[in-house]
Amino acid sequence: MNLQLGVLEELILIILLIKHETYGVDIAKEYQDQLDQSISLPAIHVVLKRLEKKGLVSSEMGEPTAERGGRRKRIYRATNKGYKAARDLQEKRSEMWKLVPKLNFNL
């Protein structure tokens, strides 16, 4: 699969694979937990729309909840195509890392 993904797209796709199905606020929390940095909800929603347009993510409206004043939230999940794209990227990165010489970088 030859699909171009930006770093943020890849990270959010991986979060969706971790969570199975989730919504924007939960993605922001997982992003914070995993990367120790915050991300805005508008940024998440822009990325989710791009991923959905590429067929890597699907979404549907959830049921109304009292905690949201009877409003519904959009639930996102990675598609099979999304899983394959993330896996292919991981494999390609692993192959590339094997080519990096093992030098002493004094780390």
Task: Tell me the β-bridge partners of 21.
Answer: 77
Structural domain contains residue 2: no
Structural domain contains residue 55: yes
Q: Quick one: average pLDDT of 18-26?
A: 93
Structural domain contains residue 1: no
For the segment 65-97, what is each residue's pLDDT rounded down to a tens digit? 777 677 888 999 999 999 999 999 999 999 999
Both structure tokens of 93:
């990165």
Structural domain contains residue 21: yes
Both structure tokens of 71:
């409003």
Q: What is the structure's pLDDT at 1?
A: 55
pLDDT over 70 percentage in the chain: 93
Angstrom distance (rounded) from CA 52 to CA 45: 10
Structural domain contains residue 107: no
Per the structure, how many domains does the chain have?
1
Give the residue numbers spanning the domain of 87. 7-99
Structural domain contains residue 45: yes
If phi > 0 it is left, if psi is from -120 to 50 it is alpha, else beta; for residue 36 that is left
How far is CA 104 from each of CA 49, 96, 100, rounded to the nearest angstrom?
Answer: 42, 18, 12
For the segment 33-50, what is each residue's pLDDT rounded down to a tens digit? 999 999 999 999 999 999
Question: What pTM value is reported for the model?
Answer: 0.84
CATH code where residue 65 lies:
1.10.10.10
pLDDT of residue 2 exceeding 90? no
Structural domain contains residue 40: yes
Mean pLDDT over the full length of the chain: 90
